[in-house]
Amino acid sequence: MSLVLATDDTGGPEIFASIQGEGPSMGVPVAFMRLSRCNLACVWCDTAYTWHFEGDNRPHRSGEFFDRKANQVTLEEAEVAERILALGQNRLVITGGEPLLQAAALAKLLDLLPDISVEVETNGTTKATTALDIRIDQFNVSPKLAHSGNPVDLALIPERLDTYATDPRAFFKFVIAEPSDVDEVLALHERYRFRPGHVFLMPEGTDSDTLRTREKWLADLCLEHGFRMSDRLHIHLFGDTRGT
């Protein structure tokens, strides 16, 4: 068994140390591992190189297609564990793509990392296996709203959202491009009764100017509805780049 990872700008696996830029752990120093492949296709996705490969006709606003061989690397779990440990961090963020598509291999990897705490970023359409679930300390669940371009029956699966909504480890992070997007969040909140303090609104954007402009009106909406707001610190610090 092995893991399929995204690549950094050198063609190596996208495993790196940085600060968490989003959500409840924003500002915490962590090790990151980005896996390849996704079961959804967000038109504004800022990691389209993990899924928008040549031959994939799902839309993306850039219109760019990526060569699969150049943007994927397959490694054994032992080598991945060695690379993560070499970063010297005590918390690991597993992101993608959709990382839970590789749940069995992830469980094997984490067996090799018994002393590290684990944060998983997921779109909320799938779930961890039992062997993986017992090792996860935090889920950052990002259900996709209509402006993502995903069909609702694929993006918002009631059984999955019901499970995450009742899990105290799960935090919900909604990408917001327009003020009206918050209406969808309110409808989902009414349906699933997310835990107080576990809902974040985050502006969509891959540059600081766009994020700051949207945060000005997003802050008011957070105040009005009692949601938390997430910035995207890595964009301000490093721009829209891999391995950061």
The annotation places the binding site for [4Fe-4S] cluster at 38, 42, 45
Peptide bond into 97 cis (omega under 30): yes
Alpha helices in the chain (DSSP H): 68-71, 77-86, 103-111, 130-133, 152-155, 158-165, 181-192, 208-225, 233-238
Annotated binding site for substrate: 19-21, 34, 95
**The three-state (H, E, C) secondary structure of 89-119, written as one string:** CCEEEEECCCHHHHHHHHHHHHHCCCCCEEE
Helix 181-192 vs helix 208-225: crossing angle, to nearest 10? 40
Annotated binding site: 19-21, 34, 38, 42, 44-47, 95, 97, 142-144
Annotated binding site for Mg(2+): 47
User: Are the beta carbons of 135 and 163 closer than 8 angstroms?
Assistant: no
Neighbouring CB atoms inside 10 A of 62's CB total 12
CA dist 68 and 74 (Å) reads 12
Annotated binding site for S-adenosyl-L-methionine: 44-46, 97, 142-144
CA dist 237 and 85 (Å) reads 24
Who's near 103: CB < 8 A, 6+ residues apart? 126, 127, 128, 129, 132
CA dist 225 and 68 (Å) reads 42
